[in-house]
Amino acid sequence: MALQLEGLADLLEVTHNNIIKKKRTALIYGDRKYLAVPKVFKENKISVGSGPRIEYKVQKFNTGAAANVGEFEPNNYQFADTMTTGTVPWRNARVTYTYTLKEMQVNAGSTEQQIALIEARDDENMASFVELEEENLWGTPTSSSDNLSILGVQAWIQRGGATAGFTGGNPSWLTTGLGGIDVADVPRYKNYSARFDNVTEADLLAKLRKCFEFIQFRSPRPISGGQIVNEELTYEIFSTWTGRERLVELQEARNDQLGGDLAGNVTFHQIPVTVSPEVEKGKSVSTQDHPYLFINWDALRPYFLDSWDMRRTVEKGLPGRPNDIAVSIESTRNIVAVDRRRLGIVYESV
């Protein structure tokens, strides 16, 4: 009997619910090349029920009302508006792929073959979607007119120049400030930044230590049997291959337990220094200054529009293609640094 469009739709739904969902979880969370996506899709996301944009609160300053007082000194009643509102636009990503009645009819003699075809089509397109999101999460818009790119890692963690400290301010492409918050008006709304000239303990290593302390990074606690599971880390350090190798060489030169091993792995305060493929490729963060990016995932949060976190939509009978079915996966989201002072960068002077 010939397969009908409704029958194909039912087969897609059953396969999606019973097989594909589980495989998709393994794809997103199991592949070690995805460093940012698991944090966004699994752990830290915030769902927003409605609204044309993301809104979040930032404390500009504290009141400074506390004081040492005499025993009978009267209260000093004060009120100050210490908060401001940041706004970030929604951004969308989508992947769409099709199935035809004919290709399913060719395999109608075997349900297993039909399911294998559905799985393969979904796998290859979801891999494309996840890879795009990994690139997006490390990236940044390049102009204020960019209405497609999300505010990724490179947007929120800015290089601050020669002066070390909380100097990572407005991006050059958005002088009005991230989230509409200008650091000229809210000086506390900056990430930590330091620049090094020499790969030495007195320069590079000292600045890494200072960044670690000033942004209140924390060493991870062993989870089981003394092992630290990377997916559970809230605080992570990322760099390029050259950046990590420099720390390995420092460790070897000191001949101590900074954290390197024969495989070239190194830790800093027990946090692995991880080579990010996106940083290494240079598509997002410049590899020319081999940065060390300190990311607190509790401070860098993904916001999703409710029900639009990888929302799946099935279209039957496409315009001009009555025997096809399309499946679309779409996310409406963006990234917000709820506390930029918990993020840092140490990079080479070039």
**For range 258-286, the mean pLDDT:** 72
Sorting pLDDT into bands at 50, 70 and 90, what band is 56? confident
The residue among 24 and 53 whose pLDDT is bigger is 53
Whether 89 contacts 334, CB under 8 Å = yes
Q: What is the mean pLDDT of residues 281-290?
A: 63
Where is 47: in which H helix or E strand? strand 46-48
At 27 the pLDDT is 54
Residue type, 279: V
Question: Would you call 332 helix, strand, or coil by DSSP?
Answer: strand
SS3 content of the chain, % helix, strand, coil (to 5): 30, 25, 40
> Nearest-CA neighbor of 337 among 306, 307, 293?
293
The dihedral region occupied by 226, where left means phi > 0, alpha psi between -120 and 50, and beta the remainder, is left
pLDDT class of 284 with cuts at 50, 70, 90: very low
In DSSP notation, 232-247 reads G-SEEEEE-HHHHHHH
Which value, in Å, is the radius of gyration of the alpha carbons in the chain? 25
pLDDT at 231: 46
Confidence grade of residue 199 (pLDDT, cut at 50, 70, 90): very high
Mean pLDDT score, 260-277: 78
Percentage of the chain with pLDDT > 70? 77
pLDDT in tens, 78-107: 776 777 889 999 999 999 988 877 777 666
CA gap 109, 288 in Å, rounded: 56
pLDDT, one tens digit per residue, over 222-268 is 545 555 554 457 889 999 989 999 998 888 777 655 445 555 678 88
pLDDT for the residue 270: 85
- Residue bearing the bigger pLDDT, 108 or 198: 198
At 108 the pLDDT is 62
Q: How confident is the model at residue 281 (pLDDT cuts 50, 70, 90)?
A: confident
Instruction: Report whether pLDDT(293) > 50.
Output: yes
Percent of the chain with pLDDT over 90: 36
Q: Which of 124, 89, 118 is nearest to 11 (CA)?
A: 118
Please name the helix (run of DSSP H) or strand (run of DSSP E) that holds residue 57, with its range, or none.
strand 53-59
The burial of 189, by beta-carbon neighbours within 10 Å (0-12 exposed, 13-18 middle, 19 or more buried), is given as: buried
End-to-end CA distance of the chain: 69
**Residue pLDDT, tens place only, 117-135:** 777 788 788 888 888 999 9
Q: Is the pLDDT of residue 5 over 60?
A: no
Backbone angles phi, psi at 33, to 5 degrees: -75, -15
Which uninterrupted H or E stretch holds 283?
none
Contact 273, 137 (CB under 8 A): no
Average pLDDT over residues 203-217: 94
Say which residue, 287 or 180, is predicted with more confidence.
180
Check pLDDT > 50 for residue 75. yes
Query: Mind listing the pLDDT tens digit for each residue in 28-42?
Result: 555 557 788 877 766
Distance CA 6, CA 322 (A): 12
Structure tokens that stand for 198 in this block: 């020499």
Angle at CA of residue 274, ends 41 and 346, nearest 5°? 105
For the chain, count helices (H), then strands (E).
9, 14
Label residue 350 by pLDDT band (50, 70, 90).
confident
**Would you state the pLDDT for residue 321?**
82
pLDDT of residue 292: 95
pLDDT at 19: 52
Between 64-73, 175-184, 219-228, the lowest mean confidence (pLDDT) is in 219-228
Phi and psi at 213, nearest 5°, equal -75, -40
SS3 (DSSP) at 221 = coil
- CA 277 → CA 136, 265, 287, 345, distances in Å? 13, 15, 11, 17
- Pick the closest to residue 191 from 76, 85, 347, 19 (CA basis): 347
- Residue 43, pLDDT score: 65
Report the C-alpha gap between 133 and 127 in whole angstroms: 10
H/E element holding 350?
none
Residue 343 has pLDDT above 70, yes or no: yes
